[in-house]
């Protein structure tokens, strides 16, 4: 990482509008693999990585569409990345795929399905590929990361990365995060750990990571479970060998074409039950409650919740609105309806999991047992 903060980066940092950073010397797209992925270089002794760009501000704000004419798929992504972090070419051959170009709030289940299927095809299905890097806005990154963790079918590293500061800010974190993400993706020690989130020198499991602060660099934390590893001078170090989180469920999405709608409702004082009925009548096939404490809702809302479970057989998962903890089954059980405690899953991860369970045709009871796997009690 010694020379990444070049003069041009500093120049870019001092101007208000996006700046076109100079293209790395001699960048040509002259190698295309059997999946149609174009590489900016092909040095057969280096690992091959594909960067899947979803949008969000991460790097190379400058690389304008005008510079991409004549390049094949995803070259915008790759050229922007290589402009910002030419060091990646010393450790990998890189191809790029532009999956979407939206801020992370606009990532949809359809985009996630497309992304996961492509990773399964061009990374898992190709022995010459070492791993995937996914660039993503940070706001909903934990949802996409959890989706990929649940749906990518091989143990090759899938690293999700973003930036908290715009590329024009002083000490922009995008270039450094990108280099770290590629470094983690090419490291054989990163295999069989599920999807990984890399930002701010830390390596975390997608299963537990959550964004904790709306603004600051050190926002991504697995609150209780801790990081898997760290990068020091761009060298990854894992604290423990590869393990799978307790209760993790993997899905085969090869024949899934859409994810049913699951809504999240937030618990608060004076909570009314009409929001629940509105969600159901608007087409929600599952509901997640960001409950007060361990899944709690108002008495009137709880009656309505039981009414919806019993009348429509709609699964309702009660999670927590606190930043960490779990919802044990004993805190939500009743004799009049089948409640589902979320266990350790946050509301946003419960929503992704419930959507995948519904999309793959699980019964109400199967859904209940799936959540039970992540509960202590």
Ligand X SMILES: *[C@@H]1O[C@H](CO)[C@@H](O)[C@H](O)[C@H]1NC(C)=O
The set of catalytic residues is 57, 138
Comparison of 86 and 355: residue with beta carbon closer to ligand X: 86
Choosing from 8, 32, 33, 298, the residue that interacts with ligand X (CB under 6 A) is 33
Applying CB under 6 A, does 43 fall inside the site for ligand X? yes
* Residue 176 in marked binding region: no
Using rule CB under 6 A, residue 310 touches ligand X: no
Q: Under the criterion CB under 6 A, does residue 28 sit at the interface with ligand X?
A: yes
Determine whether the annotation assigns residue 139 to a binding site: yes
Query: Measured from the CB atom, is 87 or 143 closer to ligand X?
Result: 87
The pair of three-digit structure tokens given for residue 134, joined into one six-digit string: 């996914």
Q: What is the DSSP string of 319-336?
A: EESSSS--B-GGGT--SS
Nearest to 259 by CA among 157, 161, 115: 115
Query: What string of DSSP letters covers 8-34?
Result: HHHHHHTSSS---PPPPTT----EE-T
Does position 149 interact with ligand X (CB under 6 A)? The reply is no
Q: How many other C-beta atoms lie within 10 A of the C-beta of residue 68?
A: 18
Does 69 show up as a binding residue in the annotation?
no
Measured CA to CA, the distance from residue 184 to residue 182 in angstroms comes to 5
154 is an interface residue for ligand X by CB under 6 A: no
* Interaction of residue 124 with ligand X, rule CB under 6 A: no
Closest CA to 316 of 304, 328, 324: 304
Shortest distance, CB of residue 317 to ligand X, whole angstroms? 19
User: In the structure, how many helices (H) and strands (E) does the chain have?
Assistant: 9, 16
Q: How far apart are CA 46 and CA 185, in angstroms?
A: 12
Tell me the closest approach of the beta carbon of residue 306 to ligand X, in angstroms.
8
> Residue 39: which of 111, 103, 121, 95 has the closest Cα?
95
106 binding ligand X? (CB under 6 A): no
Number of residues this chain uses to bind ligand X (CB under 6 A): 22
* x/- map, 260-299, ligand X, by CB under 6 A: -------------x--------------------------
Tokens found for residue 315: 């699964």
Please, what is the minimum distance in Å from the beta carbon of residue 126 to ligand X? 8
Residues making up the annotated binding site for substrate are 104, 138-139
Which residues of the chain form contacts with ligand X (CB under 6 A)?
Answer: 26, 28, 30-31, 33, 42-48, 86-87, 90, 93, 128, 273, 300, 303-304, 307
């Amino acid at each position: 990482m010694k020379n990444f903060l070049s003069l041009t980066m500093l120049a870019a940092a001092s101007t208000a509008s996006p700046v076109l950073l100079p293209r790395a010397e001699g960048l040509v797209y002259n190698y295309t693999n059997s999946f149609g992925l174009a590489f900016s270089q092909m040095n057969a002794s280096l690992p091959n990585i594909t960067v899947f760009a979803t949008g969000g501000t991460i790097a190379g704000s400058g690389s304008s569409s005008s510079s991409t004419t004549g390049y094949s798929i995803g070259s915008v992504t790759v050229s922007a990345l290589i402009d910002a972090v030419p060091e990646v070419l010393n450790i990998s051959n890189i191809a790029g795929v532009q999956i979407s170009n939206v801020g992370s709030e606009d990532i949809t289940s359809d985009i996630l399905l497309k992304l996961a299927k492509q990773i399964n095809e061009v990374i898992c299905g190709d022995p010459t590929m070492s791993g995937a890097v996914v660039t993503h806005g940070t706001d909903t990154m934990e949802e996409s990361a959890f989706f990929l963790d649940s749906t990518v079918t091989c143990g090759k590293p899938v690293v999700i990365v973003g930036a908290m500061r715009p590329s024009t800010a002083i000490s922009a974190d995008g270039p450094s995060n990108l280099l770290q993400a590629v470094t983690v993706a090419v490291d054989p020690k990163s295999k069989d750990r599920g999807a990984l989130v890399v930002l701010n020198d830390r390596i975390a499991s997608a299963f537990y990571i959550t964004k904790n602060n709306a603004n600051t660099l050190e926002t991504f934390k697995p609150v209780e479970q801790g990081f898997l590893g760290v990068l020091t001078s761009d060298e990854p170090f894992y604290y423990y060998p590869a393990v799978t989180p307790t209760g993790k469920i993997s899905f085969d999405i090869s024949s899934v074409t859409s994810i049913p709608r699951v809504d999240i409702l937030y618990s608060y004082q004076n909570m009314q039950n009409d929001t629940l009925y509105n969600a159901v009548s608007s087409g929600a096939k599952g509901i997640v409650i960001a409950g007060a404490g361990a899944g709690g809702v108002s008495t009137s809302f709880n009656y309505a919740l039981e009414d919806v479970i019993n009348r429509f057989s709609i699964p309702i998962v009660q999670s927590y609105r606190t930043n960490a903890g779990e919802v044990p089954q004993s805190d939500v059980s009743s004799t009049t309806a089948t409640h589902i405690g979320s266990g350790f899953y946050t509301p946003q991860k419960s929503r992704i999991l419930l959507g995948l369970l519904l999309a793959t045709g699980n019964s109400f009871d199967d859904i209940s047992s799936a959540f039970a796997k992540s509960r202590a009690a």
